Amino acid sequence: MLPTNLTRYALYALVTLLALPFVFPSAWVLMASFSTNTQITMDSLALPDRLHVENYTHAWTGANFSAFVYNSLAVSGSVTVLIGLLATMLGYAVARLDFPGRRLLLLLIMMAIVTPVFSYLEPLTRVVRHLGLANSRTAVILTTTATFLPVPTLLMRSFFLTLPEELGDAGRVEGASEFGVFRHIMVPLARSGVLTVLIFAFLWSWNDLLLPAVFLQAPDKYTIAYAITTLKPAGFRQDHVTMFAASIISTGPMIIVYLLLMRRFIAGLTVGGLRG
Amino acid sequence: MFALASKLFPHPLDAWRSASSRTREQWLLAALLATPAIIMLSIFVFYPALQTIGLSFYKWDGISPDMGGFVGFKTFARATDNYPFSQAIKNSLLWGVVGLLVPTIIGLVAAALVEDTNLRPKPLFRFAFFVPYFFSMAVAAALFTRVYDPSYGMINQVIHALGFTDVKPQWLGDGKIAIYAAMGVFVWHETAFCYIVFTAAIQQIDRSLYDAAKVDGASEIQVFRYITIPSVRDVATFVMTIMLIVGLTPFAVVFPLTTPGLGGPYYSTEILPTLIFKKARMGYNASEAAALGVILLLLVIGIVSAFLWFRERTAPKD
């Protein structure tokens, strides 16, 4: 449809122009993370005189970001596993099992989606205190899992709905129990849906700021997002390069997820996860 | 009368007795699979959400052992009759509209431009549009305090390098533009999410539709209008619902972006979640936090339901 080279170049120019605002700030942060504070305050667009890798070692050990990365991985990893399990189980129940109260349960899940966690923040902190979980990573893991669970559950439900029921019936004829149908026929077929849900859970819990901000008081338990936004050790507000280096470090797990899994994530999203 | 009632609401035990063994097995499995999730949701979502509604009618600071007296709607009146609240409502509504439209439209157009044309190399362009999502929203906001810095910040340095040496907007310090600067970070970050989901949806469209349109002599814009947009309609509804909910509660942007952490100059970036956070965590005013929570809850439920109803009503009938 685009016969001439001219329109082709115009298209490249258009897409590049559109991408520029998204790429440029990230590139600026990456460049500045190898610079010095003096250089940044003088001319922040200039290339650094050499690669100041010590910014990264300082962020990692001096500013304790190795601990924050560990905390974030522990929290997001646990949330991802829990949501993967619970969303698969609940999603299958409301999609494929016939039991009284199924519609009510579905309605409750919908209600939970549109109930922002901010609206019940104060009572939630009291629940956590009563459970003896104040100032703990466990509190963040459990509350994050519960508040993020509804959307992945609906994704898994619509995913299970796309699988042909005949497969389950074939299993039943062969003598499989209902649990056997779920565990050995349906779950393996829903693998790409489960992967989609796992990636969503990881992205969202890695992104979250509110629940760590509410439930973590001791700085050694902070997640990396919360640490970057609120920690102000001596001079941290002026120490731009350490903050930039820490931010780049924080992208590591996300980039790994993108490179390893994004292709399958996209496949999983479209095999039925988002329809109906 | 009684017969009708028992028909409408069959006793669970009757149903259990008359069910086949296969049905019973399904019930047991449903109980097994659903119970852990229901327990989690009950403890950490439904119970505190119901408590919020109750709490909003009392006067209580959140620390005293005794809950204060029942005061009806007085807490609501006190929580809403002030300048920060009206700012928060105004900003939240504006942010809802921006969140609903801007990241979704840019994301869809970018995805269509990359996927539906013969741009090479595609993975590079996909990577470019997804880059902001590598940073979490809060980290992006923290970084943008530097990007927006009036003296050394990236944007003003670029303006300077382009030759406008005396233009130095105080992006976050000027009460008139701080809210738009904050929304800019939101759009920057969330467009990547919309982009990647729309990319997935567009890749799934049947290629023969495009070929047929080309044979009929349709232009690129007509293809986008009459094939791409209708094909991604369901995905668009999903993405826009998420953007609406996130856009009405963009705490992770405002909290790190504004000093001293909780609002720009003269409440210019105040949103309901920051007000609630302040009252619940710092102001020791549990009742007012709960009242604001109820308002936020009604706002989100109302707007999201209206949006979904609208999408349902305007859906093409085929």
Q: Most A CBs within 10 Å: which of B45, B194, B227, as the mutation test of the A interface?
A: B45
Instruction: For domain B85-257, give the CATH number.
Output: 1.10.3720.10
**What pLDDT is attached to residue A1?**
47
**What pLDDT is attached to residue A276?**
38
Contacts of A251 in chain B (CB under 8 A): 134-135
**What pLDDT is attached to residue B217?**
85
Q: How far apart are CA B269 and CA B176, in angstroms?
A: 10
Decide: A180 and A253 in contact? Cβ < 8 Å: no
Residue partners of B237: CB distance under 8 A and separation at least 6:
B308, B311
Q: How much is the ipTM here?
A: 0.86
Q: Residue A251: inside a domain, yes or no?
A: yes
Is the pTM for the entire model greater than 0.95? Answer: no
Mean pLDDT value across chain B: 85
Contacts of B29 in chain A (CB under 8 A): 93, 97, 178-179, 182
What mean pLDDT do residues A46-57 have? 86
Convert the pLDDT of each residue in B170-185 to its tens digit. 888 888 888 999 999 9
Predicted confidence (pLDDT) at residue B109 exceeds the cutoff of 90: yes
Q: For chain B, what is the largest distance between any 2 Cα atoms, rounded to a whole number of angstroms? A: 85
Q: Residue A23: inside a domain, yes or no?
A: no
Angle at A39 between CA A33 and CA A43, to 5 degrees: 105
- Single-letter amino acid code for the residue at A120: Y
Convert the pLDDT of each residue in A129-180 to its tens digit. 999 998 999 999 999 999 999 999 998 998 898 888 888 888 888 888 889 9
Q: Is the peptide bond before A152 cis (omega within 30 degrees of 0)?
A: no
**What pLDDT is attached to residue A18?**
92
CATH for A156:
1.10.3720.10
Convert the pLDDT of each residue in A200-213 to its tens digit. 899 888 888 889 98
* Closest CB to A120 among B15, B48, B249: B48
Convert the pLDDT of each residue in A212-249 to its tens digit. 988 998 888 999 988 888 755 444 557 888 889 999 99
Domain boundaries of chain B, sorted by first residue = 16-55, 85-257
Domains: count for chain A? 1
**What pLDDT is attached to residue A169?**
87
Predicted confidence (pLDDT) at residue B221 exceeds the cutoff of 90: no
For the stretch A40-44, contacts whose Cβ atoms lie closer than 8 Å and that sit 24 or more positions apart, written own/partner, are A40/A240, A40/A241, A40/B152, A41/B151, A41/B152, A42/B152, A43/B157, A44/B152, A44/B153, A44/B154, A44/B157
Q: Residue A224: inside a domain, yes or no?
A: yes
Angle at B258 between CA B287 and CA A208, to 5 degrees: 70
Query: What residues make up the domain containing A71?
Result: 65-273
Report residue B149's pLDDT band, with 50, 70 and 90 as the boundaries: confident
**What pLDDT is attached to residue A271?**
55
Distance to chain A for B176, nearest Cα, Å:
22
Q: Residue A20: inside a domain, yes or no?
A: no
**What pLDDT is attached to residue B61?**
67
Predicted confidence (pLDDT) at residue A76 exceeds the cutoff of 70: yes
Predicted confidence (pLDDT) at residue A195 exceeds the cutoff of 60: yes
Contacts of A24 in chain B (CB under 8 A): 154
